[in-house]
Chains A and B, each alone.
Chain A
Amino acid sequence: MTRPQTPAREPDSQARKPAGATAMRLIVPLQGVVQGRGGLILGSLIPCALFYLFQLYAKRHRSPKPGSDPVSPSQSSSNLPELHRSSSRSNLSSRGSIGRVGVSSRASSIAKPNDSPYYIGLDKVSEDPYDRFDNPNGIIQLGLSENRLCFDLIEKWVSENLEDSVMGSDGGDLSICGIAAYQPHDGMMEFKVAMAGFMSLVMGGTVTFDPQQMVLTSGATPALEILCFCLADPGNAFLVPTPYYPGFDRDMRWRTGVELIPVHCRSTDNFIISITALDQAYIQARKRGVKVRGILISNPSNPVGNLLPRETLYNLLDFVQDKNIHIICDEIFAGSTYGSEEFVSMAEIIDSDVIDKNRIHIVYGLSKDLSLPGFRVGVIYSFNKSVLAAAKRLTRFSSISAPTQRLVTSMLSDTRFTLAYIETSTKRISDMHDLFVAGLKQLGIKCIMSSAGLYCWADMGGLIRSYSEKGELELWDKLLNIAKINVTPGSACHCIEPGWFRCCFTTLSQADIPVVIDRIRKVAETCKPSS
């Protein structure tokens, strides 16, 4: 079936005020001198010269610096395509011109085409999507973390409970009464109650969530952005362990003006964050004069799929406590765990300790665990009353549609269904994972031990020609255009070690796996690295 294009997301750039403004302040009074107020020759020649010199200086500093080569993502340490210094005041200099009306620098930075492999790959698949029968030579999608394994369960619930009605049935009544009017922006209380119950279930039943500490948003994307707006000012930064979800670059930075500082994790640590690395990153930021406002982690991790051990969570809490900063935990894959490791939510950790909870914020959503990305349901769960108050007000820009609230409330309140769903879902993800990882193993490709997520983190370092980002992208390109599979290269996720790829397998059926493995094999055979 054709996969419609996901919202493409871009890396963004920060706008900065140009130096031109200061220059203008010098020029204008000089112009006065030049326009004949000094009668003497010297009096007019020298200012003239000065004037033109300043003009030259100002012109050179007013023009925007070109971005770095857009084709290859920049080194992980400098984060993404160069910060684009476009002049928001460029229209000032074109006084009286009837040129094209300008847009803001925020807009200019994003209007250019996608240049991250993450988005390029998604675009390509939508142009030529694989279908076992209709398009067997199309591109197989392994770049979209969506769970399509359990729709039969959802559809069964829909047919039993909604009687095919989009509106949902309130006792069989199709009335839109009660949901047409303005609702609280941050979601109806019944919905919050149902969501709190679902989150508790999904996270193993070891922690309860208080609906009063919840703010509901139209997806996890605005949930993260809203938290960012509440916790940091433009120019501030968040520390983010790498590799991380490429979407963070847009969601966290674009309109907020906040910086993301990658903190590199290594395969030797199983890509688990080390406090030493965090500390170093924090100190380096301080040296640069950048104020770090918090840490952003995803647990279960995207793209690696591992779970943070309890010990690490405690260490992270120590760290943020010590630095007096925030921690945002994106737990959106909490319900997609399947291994023997246990998932520990940040909410559970702080339940058992006396610490300042005001710095803890959790993000959740129904796009992954419940496969409802189209319905736009996200959660901010915070222990900080001021953050909740501010976030509540900000949800006016990102509220969940009322009919959807009602439908999903009814779904989540059916605990018989949700329990059975999570059990079955995690089993099917696990089976698919095992099959896929075994298939890769046949090709000599190992994956990081993972017990969560809808993907595996595969080491294809053995297949790349030069052990570098360039080599990795060459392989990615081959996989996309020759093998015709779309996987996400580690560099798009800011991974410091080349050769790692995220492969999502929950949009496949079991029959597709041999096809994928076969295609990779063909490319692998042509990829014998130079010894």
Chain B
Amino acid sequence: MAIEIDDHQQPSVELSKVAVSETHGEDSPYFAGWKAYDEDPYHELNNPLGVIQMGLAENQVSFDLLEEYLEKHSEASSWGKGASGFRENALFQDYHGLKSFRKAMASFMEQIRGGRVKFDPERIVLTAGATAANELLTFILADPSDALLVPTPYYPGFDRDLRWRTGVKIVPIHCESSNNFQITPEALEAAYSNAEAMNIKVRGVLITNPSNPLGATIQRSVLEEIFDFVTRKNIHLVSDEIYSGSVFSPTEFVSVAEILEARKFKDSERVHIVYSLSKDLGLPGFRVGTIYSYNDKVVTTARRMSSFTLISSQTQHLLASMLSNKAFTENYIKINRERLRKRYEMIIEGLRSAGIECLKGNAGLFCWMNLSPLLDEPTREGELALWNSMLHEVKLNISPGSSCHCSEPGWFRVCFANMSELTLQVALKRIHIFMEQLRSSTLASNQDYSGCRFLVLQVARQPI
């Protein structure tokens, strides 16, 4: 039966507000830079003039350790019991997750914290990545139009992950360079009052510790203050500890879990920790995230809600053996830390010799660079103009502070772990030349950095 259609009469079928909303944020500079990279990606041999990706926080420095493990432990990557192992695994879609995997995750998380805390595998809820974990928690802790307080600068993805489908708002807790962007009780109170004044109900505070984009851990005293604050206001605390295994020195990271244990878990039912294997273990493609909650109701609900974001049983099985191998994980954590520290020192030194200062960092896959002295005008526009030049003339994709909602213009997040050392050197060289040209010429006027047009060529021709 043919159906006659008159295109002029029928309006096209509508989509939802979620579908047409811009909350996915993919039109922001943060993502525009990625597009530029995709179109012209740097390659040492094939495309030495291309854009170097320094906007992606991916850990590629310890990959060889994983490969070595898999080579040596083929039994770890077998189905066990041969074919019937496969069958059991393929049928397993229980949202509790494989017990062996949860135990392995709990133990891995404990090791990262130097054994200073204990994690109960029964409180671990598995999700397909920390992105899903953060969204899930937001669905659970807040209703549409409620808000979460998030300290600035923060990971640009939160705008999408916490708000898009959930309808929840983010109210920023403003942090400043004058005290190294640390969260203060005054800032917390100000954010809360701000929300109240707008008639918005605050349901919780979400911190990232170690911080993205600052690349620094939150001090114990600050954590205590934050915890006291959420207790006073009777709201939740979500601590995204996704970079906890990427702290350069083992003693410098304090997890909120430690605060709770020290207080014998008083008022702990408001605390939830998010973790993932995407950064520390360099396995973002595996989609492995977890929620660890001290609140029974949240655990039950999150578990049920995780039906929308389960981790493949195959992946759980594969990682369970690897993460339970204490010798492997101890070694991995130790070496990963050292390599990241070495990279960090390399980039800091390289930037310093180019005359650029960074925030003192001690964790993560990036550094927080201060280019405010270079800005023609201390505004967001000034920052974006500089960012634009960095992208199109210097051919480096770095993340502007404004996309992280930083209240002070001129700061940039620069990733250093998603490339080879050689590539990092090339990037540093380009920055070096860029700074030289700025100093020696009249480029600084009118935000015109176009003189750097041949910069990448110069660098490509130079020996490192």
Contacts and interface: CB of A to CB of B under 8 A. Distances in A.
- Does B bind A? yes
Interface string B226-237: 000001001110
Interface residues of B, number: 91
Contacts of B88: 1
Interface string B113-149: 0000000000000001101100100011111101000
Contacts, number: 285
Contacts of A225: 308
Contacts of A317: 3
Interface string A356-386: 1011000000010001111110000000101
A42 interface: no
Contacts of B14: 293, 324
B304 A229 contact: no
Interface in B214-269: 231, 234-236, 269
Contacts of A268: none
B430 interface: no
B298 A100 contact: no
A40 interface: no
Interface in B252-291: 269-270, 282-288
B236 to A, nearest CB: 6
A398 B309 contact: yes
A314 B140 CA distance: 41
A403 B236 contact: no
Contacts of B142: 104
B90 A373 contact: yes
Contact of B312 (A104, A106, A376): A376
Which size bracket describes the interface of A in this complex? Answer: 35 or more
Contact of A233 (B17, B132, B143, B305): B17
B311 A401 contact: yes
A275 interface: no
B453 to A, nearest CB: 31
A64 B11 CA distance: 41
Interface stretch (B65-73, B181-189, B431-439): B65-73
Contact of B58 (A151, A182, A229, A402): A182
A218 B93 contact: no
A271 B13 CA distance: 29
Given A230-B16, A354-B2, A373-B91, A182 B285 contact: yes
A107 B143 CA distance: 9
A397 B87 contact: no
A183 B301 CA distance: 29
Nearest to A94: B234
Interface stretch (B313-321, B336-344, B359-367, B369-377): B313-321
Interface string A310-346: 0100100110010011100000000000000000000
A218 B12 contact: no
A324 B13 contact: yes
A89 B12 contact: no
Contacts of B129: 396-397, 399
A151 B88 CA distance: 10
Contacts of A7: 93-95, 304, 306-307, 310
Contacts of A164: 78-79, 82
B3 A10 contact: no
A314 B305 CA distance: 36
Nearest to A358: B13
Contact of B315 (A159, A355, A387, A401): A401
The 9 A-B pairs with the shortest beta carbon distances in the complex, nearest first, are A374-B313, A402-B285, A155-B83, A7-B95, A401-B312, A390-B19, A404-B312, A230-B19, A401-B315
5 contacts: A8-B304, A88-B143, A314-B1, A353-B3, A397-B132
Given A100-B269, A321-B3, A390-B18, 9 more contacts: A4-B92, A103-B301, A158-B83, A176-B70, A219-B310, A387-B15, A396-B129, A398-B132, A401-B285
